Amino acid sequence: MNTILKDPLLKLRPLKERDIDVIMTVERRCYEHPWTAGIFRDSMKVGYHCWGYFLDDQLIGYVVMSEAAGEAHILNVCIHPDQRGQGLAKRLMTRVITCAKEQQVDTVFLEVRASNRIAQGLYESLGFNEIGLRRGYYPAGKGREDAILFAKVL
């Protein structure tokens, strides 16, 4: 199941502005309401932690995390649909949590769609706890969807 994590062609590296086109290809494939290229560009310019997994030079997953004033916020976690279920999201999350600890962050926050039970299970397995609900936070096909707010104290 986790054989991809042992693949010698799998590389984790910081994302750069030159990666935005391939990021957008994955983002559009994964989300009905994707981030824009401008959001990714701005995230990189302000110094957010942006990491990507590449398999044989193909982007297969990424994470974006902001950090300031002792808090971190995981803004986007995305795994290409063809690569899901192999532990990549957990590995990416572990990477940014480590970054947060290195920056002396006290708490890491994130939101997740109320309908995304798989992601919720991942976050709980990493020690995140549900701390709130943001009603109508996400755009959805028929209106808006609630977000569950999670936090992990480091």
Catalytic center residues:
111, 123
Question: Are the C-beta atoms of residues 107 and 73 closer than 8 Å to each other?
Answer: no
C-alpha dist (Å) from residue 88 to 3, 62, 105, 145: 11, 9, 23, 26
* Rounded Cα gap, residues 65 and 75, in angstroms: 5
DSSP code string of 116-151: -HHHHHHHHHTT-EEEEEEEEEEEETTEEEEEEEEE
| The pair of three-digit structure tokens given for residue 26, joined into one six-digit string | 């994955």
- Beta strand 10-14 with 129-140 is unpaired
* Rounded Cα gap, residues 144 and 48, in angstroms: 27
Q: Identify the DSSP state of 88.
A: H
